[in-house]
Every structure is written in C-alpha cells, then in structure tokens.
Structure 1
Amino acid sequence: MEVLVLESDPGAASAAVAQLEAAGHRVLRCHDAGAAPFPCAGLTGGCPLEDAPVDVALTVRAHPHSRPTPLEDGVTCALRHRIPVVVAGRTMLDPFEQYGAESVAGDVVEACEAAVASVRKEHSAIATRALRDTLGRASLPGDAAVAEVRRSGGRLTVELSVPSETPQQVRDTAAVRITGALRAFDPTATGIDVGS
C-alpha cells in the first residue's frame, strides 16, 4: 500500500511512519522530515501524487488545529485527487472531516488499510446513478441496482449488482456510462474496471 503521510507539526507522524513501514507499506511525503512547509516536493522535484499511485493519505495531528497547518498542504491535494484521507492523533476540530476524511483514535495501519478497502461513497453514488439511469432507459427495474466502487493502486474497481434478467448489451452500456461518469468525477484515477 502506498501511503502519503503528512503531519500538523514537525515529527508528529514519526511513530506512524515507523508503524506503516514495519507493516510493509511504502511511505511517501510532501515534505522531507524536518524540512520547511514551503516549498513542497511538487515544486522541488516530484509530487508523490503524480509519481506513484497513492492509495491513502494519512495526516497525524499533534494539536487540535481548526485549520490545516502548512505541513498538511498535501491533504488538500489528496482530497482533490479523490484519495481517501485518514486523520490520526489529536482529531478534535478536524478541518478535513467535512470533506470526507476519516478520523481515527486507534491503530493507524489498520485505519489506512480499512480506508483503502472501503467502498468509496461519492464514487459509488455516481456510479449507481449512471447504472440506474441506464436500466431505466432500457425499461428495466433499477431501484435495487447498486454499483460499489473501491480505489486501489490508483485504479477504480466497480462491482455491479443488477437484476439477473439484465441483457449483456445493457450491462455493457451501463459499464461505458459508469466509466464516463467516474472519469468526470475522478480524472486522476489511473484506470477504471467495471465488472458485474
């Protein structure tokens, strides 16, 4: 798993980095340890969000700040790239929660792994709308149809649940429409795989 690690204050993520690396995960950073908040890696050599398929972003907060700190600038970039965000440490006043970030009080490795394995709610809602619309256009029942989207390795994987009587041509049309809707919502995904 590729984890973009940020921190509110210098050194706040040191223990989390050690835990993630001990669990075999690759840690990427927007700022080298001890470096100033500006400039970020994207301005000095290579943005981790552009260089590797990041699975999850983790920020560790040493203090309950109501706004992102300069060292947390990569969280905004991760959210714009539709990458799951986990917030650990002092999560009171979490400014990222309203944008879908998940606050955790326990094990950061488990929290990051769970975030990667989880169904992406916004993606799934968009895919489900496209699926139901396609079924409706074909005069097929669509109320129970669901599309679940997960993100891993930069790719989106879509699992469809459709009525068994749905013809293959309609399934194929739905896959194309879902792919288009997801690409519009998440243009940085490295690929989109739709299965039924």
Structure 2
Amino acid sequence: MRRRGLKIVMTESHTGGCEPVAGELTAAGHSVLRCHGGSAVDSEAPCVAWTAGGACPLLAPDVDVVVDVRTGAGRQTAREQGAMCALVAGVPLVVCGPVDTLGAAGTLSRADVVCGPADVEAACHRAFSPVGPTAHRVVARAVSRALAGVTAPADVHVDLTARESVVVADITVAASPTATGFRRVRGAVRTALAPFTPTWPYVPVTLYHRTPGIRHE
C-alpha cells in the first residue's frame, strides 16, 4: 500500500529524549506533535495539557500514531503518560528504545511495535498498518458494539489481510447473525477502518459464525 506522511504524537521517558527522533521524522515529511511543552518550565510537566493554555495533542484530528522515545531500560516514567493515552484512545503505539522486561505486563508491553531509533519511521508505518494490532482491536470493538442486543454476547475474532491495495476483513462470531446484524457488522468494520485506509468504503467483509460452513458476505 502507498505510504503517506503521518501525523505523529511524540512522548518520552526523559526530558528532551524525543528531540533527535522528532527531528528525523519531521525531515522525512511527517507532522510531529509533542506531549510536552517547549519552554523550560512547561517541558517538565508530565503532559502539555497540564500547562497554561495547553491541550492534549491526541485531541488533534487524524493522529496516526504515538511514539514513545525511551533513553533507558528502566521502568516507565511519568513523562510517558502519552503511551497510556494512546492505548486508551485506540491510537497505534510505537516504543522507540529499550523496554524494561520486568514490567512486561505494563503499558509498554502492549505497543504495536518496539524499535530502535534507526528504524522508527518504518515502525510508524507498520504500527499504522490497516492490518496491524491496533486496527484489529478497533475493528473487534466496533463489531462487538454493532452486535450488542442483536445476537448473543459477541465472541469476536477478526482477521484483516491486505490484498494488493484493498484490506479484506474476515469476522467470526459465536452465534449466527441476522441479515440486519450482518449489515451492521459490515458498516461497523468499514467505518472502524476509515482512519487506516482510504479504501475503507470498499472493504470486503465476510462474517462467519461457529457453525461450520455458514457465512454471510
């Protein structure tokens, strides 16, 4: 699929740690926003939204990915709050730098991609992939909401694959949906993929349930 410039929010484990990476991403044609202010006082705040006149950069429209730049292998610091915000907001997360293996159950272990500084641009494109982990999570949540009250509680499995320039979605649920349920699922899947691919209105959606051999298209 064709690559484009991304809108990237940067956070960091230590003051100033993200600047070299932010400079490289900007030079490569990406739009970079920061979780921390530029002044000496504001840069020490855990979040730019806590500063006078500040606002969370994740509130900007069409944010594609959050990059957390880590300059050491220690535990997650307060300055990395943006990484948690990315997961809550459903925005792909890239961790650039070493991750503390003792904190394997923490926020950073849920990153879409972990990379080194030399690979961060490629990592951002992988994380923003319409067939990546965040896209899978977003689609699964959308399908569960679409089927709420229509069929049995949704046990949803999502399989997204890229075939040339089109994403193909295969969805499996526990119970057989009605025709109305299928239309809801198809619309929910396509809408959920809108931030990830310009071809979202044309995504083929096949809905399976766990009765062998039965599917809706």
TM-score > 0.5 by shorter chain: yes
Per-residue CA deviation, residues 134-186 of structure 1 (Å, 9 max, x unaligned), is 9xx9xxxxxxx964289xxxxxx963359xxxxxx95x853422555898xx8
1:24 aligns with 2:29: yes
Q: Relative CO higher for 1 or 2, CA cutoff 8 Å, sep ≥ 6?
A: 1
Whether the 8 Å contact between 2:68 and 2:96 is mirrored in structure 1 is yes
- The worse-fitting range, judged by mean Cα deviation, of 78-87 and 118-127 is 118-127
Equivalence for 1:72: 80
Matches within 5 A, 1:1-196: 1-33=6-38, 34=40, 35-38=42-45, 40-43=47-50, 44-66=53-75, 68-93=76-101, 95-105=106-116, 106-117=118-129, 119-121=131-133, 123-124=135-136, 127=139, 130=143, 147-148=159-160, 159-161=168-170, 170=179, 173-177=181-185, 179-180=187-188, 193=200, 195-196=203-204
Other structure's SS at 1:58 match = strand
Alpha-carbon contact 2:158-2:169 (below 8 Å) kept: yes
Deviation at 1:69, TM superposition (A): 1.1
1:7–1:61 contact (8 Å) kept in structure 2: yes
- Residue 97 and residue 38 in structure 1: after superposition, are their counterparts in 2 closer, same or farther (change >3 A)? closer
Change (3 A) 1:119 1:3: same
| Contact 1:58–1:87, Cα closer than 8 Å, also in 2 | yes
How far off its partner does 1:63 sit? Answer: 1.2
Gaps of 5+ in 1: 138-144, 151-156, 163-168
Measure how far apart 1:24 and its partner are.
Answer: 0.4
1:140 maps to what in 2? none
Matches of 1:11 and 1:60, distance apart in 2? 10
Aligned residues with identical type, % of pairs: 26
Structure 2 spans left out of the alignment, 5+ residues:
1-5, 151-156, 172-177, 205-217
Secondary structure of 2:128 counterpart: helix
CA RMSD of aligned residues (A): 4.0
Q: What amino acid is aligned across from residue 115 of structure 2 in structure 1?
A: V
Are the counterparts in 1 of residues 12 and 79 from structure 2 also a CA contact under 8 Å?
A: yes
Residues 127 and 178 in structure 1, CA contact (< 8 A), matched pair in contact too: no
1:50, distance to aligned residue in structure 2 (A): 1.0
What is the rounded CA distance, in whole Å, between the counterparts of 1:21 and 1:126 in structure 2? 27
- Counterpart amino acid of residue 107 in structure 2: F
